[in-house]
Every structure is written in C-alpha cells, then in structure tokens.
Amino acid sequence: MKEGTSFIDNLGRIYGIYTGTFIGFVILLAILEQLGVPNKVIGYLFVFLTIGVYALIGWLSRTAQISEYYVAGRRVPAFFNGMATGADWMSAASFISMAGGLYLQGYDGLAYVLGWTGGYVLVATLLAPYLRKFGQFTVPDFLGVRYGGNVARFAGVIVLFSASFTYVVAQVFGVGIITSRFLGISFELSVFVGLLGILVCSMLGGMRAVTWTQVAQYIILIIAYLTPVVWLSTKKYGIPIPELTYGQALQQIAEIEPKLGILKGHMAAFADAKGQFSWDRFANFFALIFCLMIGTASLPHILMRYFTTPNVRDARISVGWSIFFIFLLYFTAPAYAAFAKLEVYTNVIGKPIAGLPEWVKNWQAVGGLLTIKDANNDGILQLSELIINQDIIVLSTPEIAGLPYVVSGLVAAGGLAAALSTADGLLLAIANALSHDVYYKMIDPKASTIRRLTVSRVLLVGVAIVAAATAGTRPAGIIQMVAWAFSLAAGGLFAPLVLGIWWKRTTNTGAVVGMLSGFAVTLFYLVMTRYYPAEFEAMFGTKLWFGILNISAATFGLPVAFVVTWALSLVTEAPSKEMQEFVDSIRRPKGAVAWSKDAVHE
C-alpha cells in the first residue's frame, strides 16, 4: 500500500488478485478438511488468517499525514468507496441478525431490509455531494462552520458519540458471538480478541487503512454470505439463484403453516399473533422504516465515507455503488430466512428429540442460542418447545444444508469481516470527533500534526476498550442496539444537516436548540420506555406513545427537531450574507468554498 498513484491505478488488479487468492485459500482449506484436518483447526485458520490480512493492510497503510489519516487523501475512486461503504454499513446486525429477524417475524421483518437500503436515496440527494464539496474532515466540522462555532460543533459531537457508541457496542458483541463459537473460548475473552482485530486495522493508518481494509472485508463478507445460500438453492431447486428460487420455499412454508397450527403466516403483512390485521403492526412497520432510513442519512461513520472521494461527481456515483453493493446482500437475506424456516418445519419440528439433525445439537452447546424443552415429555419436538435465537440463522445455514465445515468457517469469517469493518468505521468516527473536533478545534488549536495523530490513536484505543467492556455485560440484542443508534442519530443530526444545506434561513440558535431537543426527545422516549416503563406510564397514562416501540424513537424526536429549528430560525436574526454565500458555494460543485471569515478551516 506504498503511496501514490500506482496503487490507486492498479486497484482493480490488486483486489482481483486478492479475491482469487482468497478463493484459492478456501479451496485449500476444503481439501485439508477432506484430508482429515479437524474442524477446530479450520475455524482457527479462518479467523486468524483473515484478521492477519486486515492487520497487514492496516500496517501497510500506516500514515503520518493528517489528510491521509482523516479522509484517505481524498483519492478513493467511486466504485471502491462504494465497496468500502458497503462493508462500513453492513454490520453484525445485517450479516448475522437480519435474516434471523426475517425468520422470526416474516413480512414485518422486511422493515429492516427496506429501512437499511432506502436511506441511501436521501444520502445521495440531500447530503453526500454537499458534504463532499464542503470538504473538511468530520460531520461536526460542518455543523461548527455552518452554525457559528464550537457550541454547534460540541452538540454534534454529543449526538455522534451517543449514536456511534451504542452502535459499536453491538458490533463488538457480534464479534464476541462469532469468535466464541468458532474458537471455542469464552464470550468475554472473545470480545477482547475481536478488539485486537479492530485496532490493528485502524490505529496506524486511520481512514486510509480503514478504507482499504473495508474493501478487502467487503469481498470476503459478500462471498461468505452468498456461498451457502447459493449452494442450498442449487441443491434444493437446481438453480443457483436463491433470490429467484425461494419463492418455492415460501409456497411450501405457506402449505405447512396451517398444519403446525400457525395463525400468523410468514408472508402475512401487518398481522398480529392471531393472523388478524393490526394497526399497531402497521404503524410500527412504517415508523421503523422511517427511522432506519433517516438514521442512515445521519450516521457520521457513513457520511464521512463520502469525504474521501476525489470530487463531488464521484461522491454522487459512489452512493449508487454503495447501495448496489449493499443490495447484493440485502435482497438475499429473505432467502436465508425462507430456507431455514422450511428446514426447521420439515426436518426439526415433529421429529424425535433424540434424533435431531447435527446442526441443532451443535447450537444447543453454545449457551442459550438454541434451546429445546420437551414440555410434554413425549420425546417429540413441538413448535413451542423450540426457541431459536435470531442471531444463529445465517451461521447455521451451512450446517443445515449439510455443507462441509469449511463453509461454516467461511461464513464465520464473513460475519467477522462485517462486524470488524463496521466497528472500525464507528471507532474512527468517534475518535476523529474527539481528537479533531474536541481536542484540536476546541482545546488546543495550535497542536502539532504528530500530537493530533497521537491523541487520536490513544482515544481510539481508549474508546475501543470501553466499548468491549460494555459489550461484555451483554446489554441487549444486536439488532435492538443498532436500531437505537439509528434513532439517536436521526433525532439529532438529520434536521441540522439537511436544513443547513437546503434552507439558508436556518440560524445558529435554531439549529443548535433544534438538534438538542430532537436528540433529547428521542433519548427520553428510548430510556424511559425501556428502563422506567412504570414511571413513563405514570407520567403519560400510556405505555407507549401511539403504540410506537422504542426502536423507532426518532418518530417523535425528528419532527421536534425540524419544528424547533424552523420556528426558532424564523424568530432569530437571519444568517449573515457571508454565511449565505458559503451555503451557495457548497451547493455548486465548481469553484472554491466561500469561507466566512470567522470559520476556522484548513
């Protein structure tokens, strides 16, 4: 990864060779497995060799330049930035939990599939090109310059920190699940093994290292995600396109469901447990889509990826590539859910417990993820006697399909790549906000380059350790923590970012108060309904506002942010002419940014 244009020019070739080598490596392991190398060794090889590759890229990408460290030198081509964003985006929640959510919830789970893709339309039109033109280092940078300095900057850092930290805890948690399953070590220890993997990628090279490892991680995660399900589709239906063939699985599921006494069908939309239409489900489905999409367009670790393209035009195309690479995984996830469900309905339920398939027994051994309780002591497994955790659907599909263990190892490596890449991006976003926005911009603007980078690295390690310690306490499920992060970001950041670009009249006071009130309402709803439900009910006479669950808390925070910003902006003095010229200059791709004179920038 030694400097310069030759690397950038040869990206296609380099990653082509890398992909070929990886596939060769998987085939080699498959051969070793056939020769009798034990599963445990295969698992170890997968985990440590892939982490080793990321570490190598991280080491080769080490840098002592500020713009390389924060924005990868702004030379990342649109296509590769799309891949890196894909890895940055798809986390343990997408890779491990989403298909499981679809398994358990059927149609209603598709809110995640929609919510985690459609937000890119907002990123593409409302934000990415303008933030690229603005061309500084972080999202709080924009807030600070547009809204008159450190108060707005610091408010932005608070929101960024809360959302990203919640999110990163969920990732480390995912890393813990995978490593403990495939290395056979305790969850608490696994979390710290994963942590090392995260730190070697990002510590020395910042954004540059994270970018090039994320591209490598995307390639591994997409191969890993598609392989078992393509195999399964070929085996079951003779066509290697699962996205096409799972329609048949859906039909088979629909036929079996009534026989098992299931009232709420897999494909029934907005149905309650009895299979009847429910307004509650309807409202929550759309509220969740809304919050996840707005959250997508507000999460700093995603937005900052578009700071790294060479120009505005590339930033726009890059969003297209991002959603394309994300789409490849997302439109496959429902196939996983359908195949797994069909397998459970046909080969697990109604079978003697003593003779269950091997994969069921393997997962019973990992604490609490799959439990079987023979409630009526008849030796036969009934539907209600099986509890499957949603986090194991993807990880167990290779075993379900009866594939060699090497595929399980591959999937584990993919899940690890997904969790590590997202954790990297998040940790970097947090560390950059603390080192660049808080330390450099607010505490010591005269700090030398070396000092700034040192502070950033120390903070990176510090935040990572705190995140791992938090994850070790198993605070909540992955998907839930991630959805909270989206709501927090959406409630706080979306209004000031979008209005800052699209409405010149937005004033400093309006934006700062709007941002903090949107964030506060979201946080209040989330914390109260989750941890103090009795107090919440005493206060408002209802358990939930309009029945909206707290994973969609931004449903309330976001409108508050917009209304407060709008109202206060109208009653405060309009932004200066200079500020309006600044907004004009980031609206058009050509020309320099018109910095107003009190804006500090580099």
Partner 1 sequence: MSDISSDKMNAYWGETSRLMWIVMLMWVVFSFGVHAFAIQLNNIVILGFPLGFYMAAQGSLIAFVVICFWNAKAQNAIDEKYGVAED
Half-sphere exposure of 509 (CA within 13 A, CB side): 9
φ/ψ (deg, to 5) at 301: -70, -25
Nearest approach, Cβ of residue 121 and partner 1 (Å): 5
Q: Which is nearer to partner 1, 33 or 343 (CB)?
A: 343
Nearest approach, Cβ of residue 482 and partner 1 (Å): 19
Q: Which is nearer to partner 1, 58 or 334 (CB)?
A: 334
Q: Which is nearer to partner 1, 252 or 362 (CB)?
A: 252
Nearest approach, Cβ of residue 457 and partner 1 (Å): 34
Rounded distance, CA 102 to CA 116, Å?
Answer: 14
Cα–Cα separations (whole angstroms), residue 333 to 136, 241, 369, 486, 566: 36, 13, 20, 20, 40
Q: Which is nearer to partner 1, 269 or 600 (CB)?
A: 269
Q: Which is nearer to partner 1, 8 or 126 (CB)?
A: 126
Rounded distance, CA 140 to CA 148, Å?
Answer: 12
The contact set with partner 1 (CB under 8 A) reads: 107, 110, 113-114, 117-118, 120-122, 124-126, 129, 243-244, 246-251, 267-270, 277, 285-286, 289-290, 293, 311-313, 316-317, 319-320, 323-324, 327, 330-331, 334, 502, 581, 584-585, 587-592, 594
List 380's β-bridge partners, or say none.
352
Q: What letters, b where the CB count within 10 A reaches 16 and e where it falls short, cover 250-263?
A: bebbeebbeeeebe
DSSP element (H, E) containing 371 = strand 370-372
Q: Which is nearer to partner 1, 249 or 381 (CB)?
A: 249
Tokens 């290395």 found at? 183
Nearest approach, Cβ of residue 588 and partner 1 (Å): 4
Q: Which is nearer to partner 1, 34 or 276 (CB)?
A: 276
DSSP element (H, E) containing 539 = helix 533-540
Nearest approach, Cβ of residue 234 and partner 1 (Å): 17
Nearest approach, Cβ of residue 61 and partner 1 (Å): 27
**Largest CA-CA distance found in the chain, in angstroms, rounded:** 80
Q: Which is nearer to partner 1, 198 or 253 (CB)?
A: 253
Q: Which is nearer to partner 1, 113 or 155 (CB)?
A: 113
Q: Which is nearer to partner 1, 115 or 194 (CB)?
A: 115
Q: Judging by beta carbons within 10 Å of its beta carbon (0-12, 13-18, 19+), is residue 167 exposed, middle or buried? A: buried
DSSP 353: G
Nearest approach, Cβ of residue 503 and partner 1 (Å): 11
List 271's β-bridge partners, or say none.
277
Length of the chain: 602
In SS3 terms, 474-520 reads as CCCCHHHHHHHHHHHHHHHHHHHHHHHHHCCCCCHHHHHHHHHHHHH
Nearest approach, Cβ of residue 283 and partner 1 (Å): 11
Comparing CA positions, the residue from 279, 296, 295 lying closest to residue 557 is 295
Nearest approach, Cβ of residue 172 and partner 1 (Å): 29
Q: Which is nearer to partner 1, 319 or 482 (CB)?
A: 319
Nearest approach, Cβ of residue 101 and partner 1 (Å): 13
Q: Which is nearer to partner 1, 281 or 452 (CB)?
A: 281
530-536 long-range contacts, CB within 8 A, separation 24+: none
Structure tokens at 11: 């990206």
Nearest approach, Cβ of residue 411 and partner 1 (Å): 21
Tokens 């713009």 found at? 67
Q: Judging by beta carbons within 10 Å of its beta carbon (0-12, 13-18, 19+), is residue 404 exposed, middle or buried? A: middle
Nearest approach, Cβ of residue 401 and partner 1 (Å): 20
Q: Find the radius of gyration of the CA atoms of the chain.
A: 24
